[in-house]
Amino acid sequence: MQISRPRQPYSAVIVFLSLLISPLTLQVLICRNYKGDVDMAEIDHFLPLLMTQEEEGLTCPIMSHGNVHFLWIKHTNLYLVATTNKNSNASLVYAFLYKVVEVFTEYFTELEEESIQDNFVVVYELLDELMDFGFPQTTDSKILQEYITQEGTKLEVAKTKVPTTVTNAVSWRSEGIKYKKNEVFIDVIESINLLVNANGSVMSSDIVGTVKLKTMLSGMPELRLGLNDRALFALTGRDKGKTVTMEDVKFHQCVRLSRFESDRTISFIPPDGESELMSYRINTHVKPLIWIESVIEKFSHSRVEIMVKAKGQFKKQSVANNVEVRFKTSTGHAKYVPEKNLAVWTIKSFPGGKEFLMRASFGLPSVENDEMEGKPPITVNFEIPYFTVSGIQVRYMKIIEKSGYQALPWVRYITQSGDYQLRSNF
């Protein structure tokens, strides 16, 4: 999503300093005052306020000192903070801060203190282009990379010009793109968030999905994507087969929202290369795809053995890849990863319907039974290709371009673990 500049100023525009603070050195690394109506020294109050909140066990994303408000996020070892002395639109501020993280990550691979220090000139250039006098501007990294590079360039005044994508109605795609072979790759990726209690009951579950594109198309094509959306089928009176109800749907700026709201058609001119077309959430009861059972046996005051059984509860035709079962005890250390106080059981290929068993020994100091209670949950990481737990499907992808060329759409489905936890009786 690109944040577009409003046509006229309004009371909820961002009015703040954008800066990065290192918690290691407790100093401001980068600071940009866009409007000058907030004193630069106000940022000195941020860290004391944050430390006070952490000592009290409370962490609020918005803090205030006098009439100045701090809106902040944390990424790796950095704090990104926006300050304002007005009743600004907090959602817009946070959308901008997360967009800053996304753009900087595209440029530097990792956004951390070292990458900021090594590229501070480019960082300032990006901050100047991302926002102008409190108004978000160009926030698409692909467009920014057309004229802000990490390589030195010779100044040629006669050839200096603003890229047309900045002023085009279609600001996310350049004109004149040509490919010998026109293709579109569609990835539907669903992450499962699941919490199971020690009795085996699912306490909470949902599915967070994204549709990602890799477009290699010539010209300025229009694409139309059709999903088995329940609202679409109800609208057309063709509620047949498996349908899904998507919530919290978010689109890339290229999608025509008015068209989607009227007839649920996802119509757009795609960015070139890789992009995230949309994200969604499905609030539904999810059966655990990988079920974990665990038993603990205490052999003596110095040795405990844990038995873990994993079972694939998905269709037999599918295979989960790179499955990791992670568990730990609060006393002693795991043999395999002692520095993390964590045991990791890895299964490279886990067919549906299969069961696997593992035993792990823990060397412990002298412990009693009551010390073995209250253990952290078991977490599971996995990825299942060619499968979606929600049943979402790409029904069609139409590609329309004035030259009339033929293009091939390719679709891939992937289900993976999100926050997937099973509480145990350890």
106-123: pLDDT as tens digits: 888 888 888 888 888 888
Q: Can you give the pLDDT at residue 164?
A: 53
> Do 301 and 401 share a structural domain?
no
Average pLDDT over residues 216-232: 88
| 30 and 127 both lie in a single domain | yes
Q: Are residues 25 and 130 in the same domain?
A: yes
Residues 37 and 108 occupy one common structural domain: yes
Q: What is the pLDDT of residue 52?
A: 86
Decide which of 333 and 383 is more confident.
Answer: 383
The alpha carbon torsion through 112, 117, 122, 127 (nearest 10 deg) reads 60
Residue 175 within any structural domain of the chain: no
Segment 213-240 mean pLDDT: 81
Q: How many domains does the chain have?
A: 3
In which domain, by residue range, is 344 found? 290-386
Rounded to an integer, the average pLDDT of 307-331 is 82
Contact between 280 and 209 under an 8 Å Cβ cutoff? The reply is yes
Compute the average pLDDT of residues 138-149.
78
Same domain, 268 and 396: yes
Alpha carbon dihedral 338, 343, 348, 353, in 10-degree steps, equals: 170
Are 329 and 401 part of one and the same domain?
no
Residue with tokens 């594109």: 213
Under the banding of pLDDT at 50, 70 and 90, the label for residue 223 is: very high
Same-domain status, 250 and 298: no
Per-residue confidence (pLDDT) for residue 372, from 0 to 100? 46
- Residue 270 and residue 399 in contact, taking contact as beta carbons nearer than 8 Å: no
Residue at 345: amino acid letter? W
8 A C-beta contact, residue 269 and residue 173? yes
Asked if residue 258 has pLDDT above 80, the reply is yes
CATH code: domain of residue 380: 2.60.40.1170
Q: Which of 38-42, 149-153, 208-212 has the lowest mean pLDDT?
A: 149-153
What's the pLDDT score for residue 265? 86
Q: Are 105 and 111 in contact (CB under 8 A)?
A: yes
Residues in contact with 261: Cβ distance below 8 Å, sequence separation at least 6, in sequence order: none
239 domain-assigned: yes
Q: Is residue 170 part of a domain?
A: no
Q: Which tokens sit at 313?
A: 């509860």
pLDDT at 338: 63
| 21 and 67 housed in the same domain | yes
> Are 188 and 327 found together in one domain?
no
Q: What's residue 222's pLDDT? A: 94
DSSP 57-95: T---SEEEETTEEEEEEEETTEEEEEEESS---HHHHHH
Domain check: are 300 and 238 in the same one? no
The CATH number of the domain where 54 resides is what?
Answer: 3.30.450.60
How open is the CA angle 101-170-166, to the nearest 5 degrees? 60
Residue 117 lies in a domain: yes
The reply to whether 296 and 280 lie within a common domain is no
Looking at the chain, the whole-number percentage of residues with pLDDT higher than 90 is: 23
Task: Select from 126, 216, 213 the least CA-distant residue to 178.
Answer: 216
| Same domain assignment for residues 198 and 241 | yes
